[in-house]
Amino acid sequence: TLDGKGEAGRNTVTWNGQDNSGCKTANGVYLYNLQAFGHSATKKLVVIR
């Protein structure tokens, strides 16, 4: 979970491929949800190691 305030304009989020316990996630398809300024987008992320 990432929560915080960002500046107006283009921003980036980096994920280290680990779960909340610090373990590497398994190969697979994951869903992520971004929310900002009253908008929300859910997308797929594929992890292949």
Residue where the block lists tokens 């921003």: 11
DSSP state of 9: S
Residue 18 has pLDDT above 70, yes or no: yes
Q: Where are the domains of the chain?
A: 1-49
Percent of the chain with pLDDT over 70: 94
Q: For residue 3, give both structure tokens.
A: 């929560």
In angstroms, rounded to a whole number, what is the distance separating the alpha carbons of residues 45 and 13?
13
- Average pLDDT for 35-40: 86
Q: Identify the three-state secondary structure at position 31.
A: strand
Determine the residue type at 25.
T
- Average pLDDT for 9-32: 92
Residue 48 has pLDDT above 90, yes or no: yes
Give buried/exposed letters for 24-35 (b at 16+ CB in 10 A, else e).
eeeeeeeeeeee
pTM of the shown model: 0.68
